[in-house]
Amino acid sequence: MNSFKETEILPFSSGVSPDGVLQINGHSVDELIDKFGSPLYIYDEDTIRKMCVEFRENFCNHYENSHIEYSCKAFANPFVNKIIDEEGLFMDVVTGGELAVAINSNFPPNKLNFHGNNKGKDELTEALKYGVEYITIDSFAEINLLNSISEDLGKFQKVMLRLSPSIDPHTHLLTSTGILDSKFGFSIETGDAELAIKQTLDKSNLILDGVHFHLGSPIFELEPFSEAIEYVISFCSEMRDKYSFNLKRFSPGGGFAIGYKTEKKPPKISEYAKVISDSIKMSCDKYSLQYPELIVEPGRSIIGRSGVAIYTVGGIKKIKDVRTYVSVDGGMGDNIRPALYQSEYSVISAGKVNEERDNLVTIAGKFCESGDILAKDVYIPNPEVGDLIALPASGAYNLMMASNYNMQTKPAVVLIKSSSEPPYLISRRETYNDLLRLSIFE
Ligand SMILES: *Cc1c(COP(=O)(O)O)cnc(C)c1O
């Protein structure tokens, strides 16, 4: 395989054909575009499986009683759910819709956890009927609602509480979720967390097994995890002393970073695993708590690297001494992350991988917003109409946040299973009929 600088952020199986075309596990992206159209999202199964193994092994090595729970809001798809199940992972859902994907992929209910800060009565009822193992409660209203639904159905539901530890993970403000000023979680600082524990323990049909927090994403530092874990476990020891609360299950959430730009490397999974495991053990030892079962909830870091977005270049606008805009056939409709929180991407001219990158350009989307820019100030070889542009690390959140703004259809998604099997369409491109089917015309 030729080496080029994006090898660490592309799927593990990426390479370059002799004529300089990007390949995913031996499949040239130009041929994939010919077959499935543009823009196209390509997922690499090997990379998904490797990341599952990486998480499982690293966490088990450091903390025996641990389980990995894939947060499917990063990419909810039946084929991926099946891979996740086969790799022995649990899964998180955050809405009835994600639950529906899980149910329709036959994902085992006893490996599901239902998150979310405002689950509705219907969603909770469906979850209980399906037999979801855990529900992570995020509000006082939900404590009451879930208990009454459980009573009505004659069920005893295992629950966790989402706490807010007031820790800043130093990521974008819009993706920080464990700070005091957040809609998520019962704040320990304000006394809400204590009240929630007390109320939940008092409920007839809820079984409180543990606590959860999620700091935000992507988190490139390790200290926010150790700080938050020490704080939350010390709080749990207080709750044991006051209310005999038994911490059986503990989850420090997800939020592990991946490489988007080649210059900004994330910590290794082993480093996250070590700091999380060490902090739990140290804090539990300090307060004489038994080591709880550890649940880790990666979303982005399981699926992000496996996905590559491919676009085709249309208009090229050169503004002398200012900027060159290279417009592609997708943009904020399939990837709102740059517009929403200034996410940065590396860019590869997928048919010219071996050519010198001597043109400074800005990759613009096709949507009617000036903010629809996929990547600002990146170097690529001389851009021409029809070139293919690849954005690595596009597997997480892009398509889940996709919209039909401008009545644009959403791209197709293919899964590369292996080098010898044909590429597999796992989500077809939307058609105008898909867009029209909800409208009532008379
Ligand atoms: C989104 C989310 C995750 C996963 O976050 P990533 O950044 O994708 O790892 C985990 N837990 C909860 C509760 C979440 O909301």
CATH no. for residue 284? 3.20.20.10
Asked if residues 83 and 110 have their Cβ atoms less than 8 Å apart, the reply is no
For 34, phi then psi, to 5°, come to: -60, -40
Tell whether 218 and 354 lie within a shared domain: no
Mutate to test the pocket of ligand 1, among 171, 217, 256 (most ligand atoms within 8 A of CB): 217
Domain co-membership, 136 together with 278? yes
Closest atom of ligand 1 to 216 CA is 7
C-alpha of residue 399 to centroid of ligand 1, in Å: 16
Within a domain: 376: yes
Question: Which alpha helices (H) appear in 244-334, and where do they start and end?
Answer: 269-286, 300-303
Distance CA 364, CA 329 (A): 9
Ligand 1 pocket test target in 48, 69, 72, 115 with most atoms within 8 Å of CB: 115
pLDDT value at 3 more than 60: no
Select from 267, 286, 303 the last residue of a domain: 303
One domain for residues 124 and 237: yes
Total structural domains within the chain: 2
3-state per-residue secondary structure call for 207-249: EEEEEECCCECCECCCHHHHHHHHHHHHHHHHHHHHHCCCCCE
Residue 366 covered by a domain: yes
In a domain, 441, yes or no: no
- Do 13 and 96 reside in the same domain of the chain? no
Same domain assignment for residues 198 and 239 = yes
155 lies in the same domain as 71? yes
Asked, for residue 370, whether it belongs to a domain, the answer is yes
Query: Is the domain of 64 the same as that of 11?
Result: no
- Please tell me whether residues 62 and 149 are part of one structural domain: yes
| C-alpha 404 to ligand 1 mean position (Å) | 24
Around ligand 1, the residues with Cβ closer than 6 Å are 71, 73-74, 92, 115, 214, 217, 253-256, 297-301, 396
Same domain, 77 and 15: no
Which domain range does residue 432 map to? 5-37+306-436
- Nearest-atom number in ligand 1 for the CA of 300 is 8
Closest approach atom of ligand 1 to CA 397: 8
Last-in-domain residue among 272, 303, 334:
303
Give the closest residue (by CA) to ligand 1 atom 3: 254
Is the domain of 27 the same as that of 61?
no
Q: Is pLDDT at 259 greater than 60 in this prediction?
A: yes
- Return the amino acid letter for 115: H
Active site residue 368: yes
How remote is the CA of residue 142 from the centroid of ligand 1, in Å? 20
Examine the domain organization and report whether 298 and 344 are in the same domain. Answer: no
Mind listing the pLDDT tens digit for each residue in 291-335?
Answer: 999 999 999 999 999 999 999 999 999 999 999 999 999 999 999
- CA–centroid distance, 116 to ligand 1, in Å, is 10
Helices (H) and strands (E) in the chain, counts: 12, 21
| Three-class secondary structure of residue 205 per DSSP | coil
Domain-embedded: residue 327: yes
* Ligand 1 atom at minimal distance to the Cα of residue 218: 7
Same domain, 14 and 98: no
Lowest mean pLDDT among 112-121, 138-147, 165-174: 165-174
Give the chain's mean pLDDT: 97
Q: Whose CA is nearest to atom 11 of ligand 1?
A: 253
- 321 alpha carbon – ligand 1 mean position (Å): 42
What per-residue confidence (pLDDT) applies to 175?
A: 83
Residue at 133 is within a domain: yes
Within a 10 A sphere around the Cβ of 223, how many other Cβ atoms? Answer: 13
345 alpha carbon – ligand 1 mean position (Å)? 20
What pLDDT, on the 0 to 100 scale, is given for residue 333? 98
Rounded alpha-carbon distances, angstroms, from residue 321 to 147, 358, 378, 385? 65, 16, 16, 21
- Structural domain contains residue 422: yes
Instruction: Give the tens place of pLDDT for each residue, 327-375.
Output: 999 999 999 999 999 999 999 999 999 999 999 999 999 999 999 999 9
Count, residues in the chain: 442
Q: At 412, which CATH number?
A: 2.40.37.10
- Decide which of 275, 303, 331 is a domain's last residue: 303
Point out the ligand 1 atom lying closest to the alpha carbon of residue 297: 10
User: If pLDDT is split at 50, 70 and 90, which confidence band does 4 have?
Assistant: confident
Q: 442 lies in a domain?
A: no
